[in-house]
Structures are given as structure tokens and as C-alpha cells.
Copies of this chain bind each other. A is one copy, B any other.
């Protein structure tokens, strides 16, 4: 289960307190990170060198910084490498909504393919890093390597399913159910990455959560407090421990 190549959350947290001079400019992505995060399953050994040539760099992003902003020209796809980010979309009247939470291994920037410009922004929730994948090179590789093509298609399709699910959360669930669904989603994704299902550091603010879940920050806060009183979770600010997973599932 545990994936030792993924940068641990604790490491990231520590680096927030004592900010080691992280390379701000592009750095070579380690093959090990690539194997597990950027390119994943299904490639033969023959394909590895091609991929190495493709994913040529990584980029550090400070908390609050954007990997790309809505309106930016689209050239690269990204894959979250460490840390976490949110995607944000803006209405014409200025209202903003958080449309996604991206953890290590999640793709970023697919929205730019259709028009050549990004329609949402990707902002780091903590000091993070992303792999940079030049789209033109990726396209080329996908035409050579069926496994890579499959991988890309699956990534896009997964993203689509994730957004559909979130549409259902927003359209059909009550406030309690939304918060519970969100906590369970983060719990599961944390587990998939080899971390604890039960305890995690949610770097979103209550306002971000509210925006993502279609409710106000006050309602998020109240809901979490109520969950805590009921013995479902233990929340100390951003640090959240799930006590009664089944209880959350049943509402």
C-alpha cells in the first residue's frame, strides 16, 4: 500500500516552518518520482527513456502562488508532485469558486487543451511542486506509445468522473452530506497515496471548503463542530482525524 517515493506530508509541513531554500527554478524531475506520479502504470521498460525526455522539469510553487491562471496560454500539462493545490474558476462578476482539490499524482491543466487557454487557475494550498509536461511533446509520445495514450485518456476520463461526482454532491446533497462526502473523498485519496485514511492535514481554509461544497464558511465550521460533538471526527483547525468512518458514510 505505502508508496515510499511520494514526498510525505510531514516533510512538506516541516518545510513550511523552516523554509529550506527550495530551488525556485526548474529542476530535473527524478526518475523515481516520474515512475510513480507522472507517468504511472502500463508502460513497458522501452518507454521509460522516452518519458524521461518528455518530463524534463519540475517547478516549486509557494503557498498561494499559481501554477497557471485563467486566461494564461496553454502549453503544458502538470502533475502535482508534492503538496496540494486547488483549482479555481471565476464568474464574470468576480465571484470565485473552488472547482477541485489536487493531491500528489493528480493532473492539472487539462482544461487548457480545448481553447489553448486555461479557463481556471491552479493555486498551491501549501508549498508544493509540480511536474511540467509539455503538451506538444506528450501528444507526440502518445502517438508512438499506446500505453501512454491510454494513460492520458484515462486521466482525462477520471477527471471527468470526478467532476460529475462533485456536480452530484452540489446538486443533491445536504450540507451535512456534502461535508461528510468531502471528508470521505479526501480520506480515500489520502489512503490511495499510502497515507492514513483516518488523519490528514487539510490545507484548504473553511472558505475554500465552503466554496468547493457550495456553502458558506460558517456552515462548514458549524457542520464540522457538530460532527465533532457527535463523535464522528476530531478536528483541530486544519488537522482532521476521522473517528467514525461508517458514521460519516451513513450521513
Binding site for B on A (CB under 8 A): 87, 89, 91, 95, 97, 99, 110-114, 119-120, 139, 142-144, 146, 149-150, 153-161, 163-168, 170-172, 211-214
Complex contact B170–A167 (CB within 8 A)? yes
Closest to A156 in B: B156
Complex contact A97–B163 (CB within 8 A)? no
Chain B residues positioned under 8 Å from A119 (CB to CB): 161, 164
A172's contact among B91, B143, B144, B171, by CB below 8 Å, is which? B91
A156 to B142, CA, bound (A): 16
Within the complex, the shortest CB–CB distance from A177 to chain B, in Å, comes to: 9
A149's contact among B114, B139, B212, B214, by CB below 8 Å, is which? B139
Complex contact B167–A167 (CB within 8 A)? yes
Complex contact B163–A113 (CB within 8 A)? no
Complex contact B156–A160 (CB within 8 A)? yes
Within the complex, the shortest CB–CB distance from A160 to chain B, in Å, comes to: 6
Within the complex, the shortest CB–CB distance from A214 to chain B, in Å, comes to: 4
Chain B residues positioned under 8 Å from A146 (CB to CB): 139, 143
Complex contact A212–B171 (CB within 8 A)? yes
A91 to B113, CA, bound (A): 30
Complex contact B159–A111 (CB within 8 A)? no
Known: A142-B143, A143-B143. A111 touches B170 (CB 8 A): no
A146 to B144, CA, bound (A): 11
